[in-house]
Amino acid sequence: MQNFEIFLLENLPRSVSIHPDYEKALQAMLIAGGKRFRPALLLGVVAANNPLLLESARYAAYAIELLHTYSLIHDDLPAMDNSPLRRGKPTLHVIYDEVTAILVGDALNTYAFEVLSKAPFSDATRVDLIRELASNGGLNGMVLGQAIDCYFENKPLSIDEIKILHTNKTAKLIAASLKMGALIIGDESLGEKLYDFGIKLGLLFQIQDDILDVTQTSSEAGKLTNNDETKNSFVTILGLDEAMQEANLLADTLLHELHSLDENLQSELSPLLTQYINRHK
């Protein structure tokens, strides 16, 4: 991921403005670090199948990271989770103010699609990538999940309803990252297979986050923990032990499916996925 970090730093959003903090605020959350998990999935799929497309694929990887970062900024706002910490740093509404955080989130959201529109692919491929990112990150994906999450605070859902919530809020953008890698190399059937895999992976990711929320300190997690008591998390509904069992079953399923992928794809994705598939243990 070192080359991606260089690409990110070279392409940070910039502005010509009389605003004293706008450009610094645009860049703050991007350079704060993070797992870069979603970009790594996309680039791993491309590297396994056509390494010559990697440089071009960084535009799509960056677009995903921009959209994901916007979602974190908005998720941390006082009207949502009211979190003071993200990626081990104070959140934007703490550093600056709530208005700045809202507008920076808006800017990164739209900038994601500006970056993707400049990706050196065919027009058809760019349209497919834009559609995939928008549909999974927007009104029928991540935003829908966030709306459900906020509306049903203090209103317990069933476990099936919680899976619907987090399929939208978390899993779809992870699944889209894998599928977009397949779209770049022109393999739609692989894209559908990886999308299904990614939905399971995203649900596991959310269960793990819910487990880590009650088992890690804020400094260990890099964000506020023990903050989900009113939320429909897997731990609040199932309890920690049953949530661990659910995570273990899903992790076993994903490892089995990972080993069914072709050798090149396994080689690229296994180091990353094995690390994260087992991170709750």
Average pLDDT over residues 164-186: 98
CB 30 within 8 A of CB 69: yes
Those residues whose C-beta lies under 8 Å from the C-beta of residue 113, and which sit 6 or more positions away, are: 63, 130, 133, 134
pLDDT band at 256 (very low <50, low <70, confident <90, very high): very high
Residue 225 reports pLDDT greater than 90? no
Which residue blocks in 152-217 are alpha helix, DSSP H? 159-166, 172-185, 188-215
pLDDT band at 227 (very low <50, low <70, confident <90, very high): low
CB 125 within 8 A of CB 184: yes
Residue 28 reports pLDDT greater than 70? yes
CA distance linking residue 30 with residue 154, whole number of Å = 32
Residue 30 reports pLDDT greater than 70? yes
Count of CB atoms within 10 A of residue 86's CB?
22
CA dihedral in degrees (111, 109, 15, 25; nearest 10)? Answer: -140
Whole-prediction pTM value? 0.94
Q: 31-35, 50-54, 100-104, 255-259: which has the minimum mean pLDDT?
A: 31-35
The domain locations on the chain are: 2-277
* HSE of 110, CA atoms in CB hemisphere, 13 A: 5
Residue 1 reports pLDDT greater than 80? no
Give the class (CATH, top level) of 2-277.
mainly alpha
pLDDT at 34: 87
